[in-house]
Amino acid sequence: MDDDILTIEEVAKYLRVSERTVYDWAQKGEIPAGKIGTVWRFKKSEIERWVNERLSSNKPVASIHPVRMRNVLSPDRVVFLDYSRKRDALVALSERLAAAPQIKSKQEIVSEILRREDLMSTAIGRGIAIPHVRLSSVTDLVVAVGVSKCDIQDFNAFDDQPVRLLFMIAAAYNQHAYYLQTLSYFSAKLKNNELREGILSAADPAAVYELLIKQDED
């Protein structure tokens, strides 16, 4: 491939933003880009000129895009779990999350999720835990959802409630703002009793996915 033609991943690394951000810019026509078939490609010279224009005019190069479930979650990353110990549940869910193409190291995801949990419980009350990490081996923010069919008692939640819902987030190391935004998004959405009960009573993972995707419309 010509060295002057860049992929989304290469542009994201060059600009130090997420691949999702570059994709959104390309879709909206905010960055010089073209499609070869169905794949976005970028000329390095045009990207450099685009950056220079924004730096000289003091326009921000990056902006945080709204959290959309369909952008960070896919049906294959919603699973039912049946473990009474949090370590087993976390390992199973992180292994499922590691199947996402944005995750480059399964071993690192599993070990860092467990290490983060050892530092402080990610249970936030109401039967919910939000385990989360930022890693350089992750190229863009992704989520996996676990619905436990039994109570997980050893999360040590501040309200002493067992955990039944796990929302696992992995983000690129340079996605600090979007990472915090996603954590806040889940914390706010999951205060809704109807949503939590709907997830817990869902017949299968596909039904859980559809419930979560509908949150984009609210």
pLDDT at 93: 97
CA distance 11 to 22: 7
5-56: CATH topology is Arc Repressor Mutant, subunit A (1.10.10)
Residues pairing with 122 in the sheet: none
| Distance linking the first and last C-alpha atoms of the chain | 43
Percent of the chain with pLDDT over 90: 50
Q: What is the pLDDT of residues 186-215, one digit of tens each?
A: 888 998 999 999 999 999 999 999 999 998
Q: What is the pLDDT of residues 17-28, one digit of tens each?
A: 888 888 878 877
pTM for this predicted structure: 0.71
Q: What is the pLDDT of residues 104-139, one digit of tens each?
A: 999 999 999 999 999 888 998 999 999 999 998 999
Q: Looking at the predicted structure, is the pLDDT value of residue 97 above 70? A: yes
Strands 78-81 and 142-152: parallel
Residue 34 CA, distance from chain mean position = 26
C-beta of residue 129 within 8 angstroms of C-beta of residue 2:
no
Q: What is the pLDDT of residues 164-192, one digit of tens each?
A: 999 999 998 878 778 888 888 888 899 89
pLDDT at 31: 86
Q: Looking at the predicted structure, is the pLDDT value of residue 73 above 80? A: yes
Superfamily of the domain at 69-217: Mannitol-specific EII; Chain A (3.40.930.10)
Q: Looking at the predicted structure, is the pLDDT value of residue 1 above 50? A: no
pLDDT at 18: 83
Indicate the domain borders of the chain.
5-56, 69-217
Length of the chain, in residues: 218
CA distance 218 to 205: 21
Instruction: Judge whether 132 counts as a catalytic residue.
Output: yes
Alpha helices in 40-192 (DSSP H): 44-56, 69-72, 86-97, 106-119, 176-189
- DSSP-derived letter for residue 103 is B
From the candidates 20, 77, 96, 132, which is the catalytic residue? Answer: 132
Banded model confidence at residue 148, pLDDT cuts 50, 70, 90? very high
C-beta of residue 118 within 8 angstroms of C-beta of residue 156:
no
Q: Tell me what the mean pLDDT of segment 32-53 comes to.
A: 83
Query: Which tokens in the block code for residue 168?
Result: 């696992």
Percent of the chain with pLDDT over 70: 93
Q: Looking at the predicted structure, is the pLDDT value of residue 95 above 80? A: yes
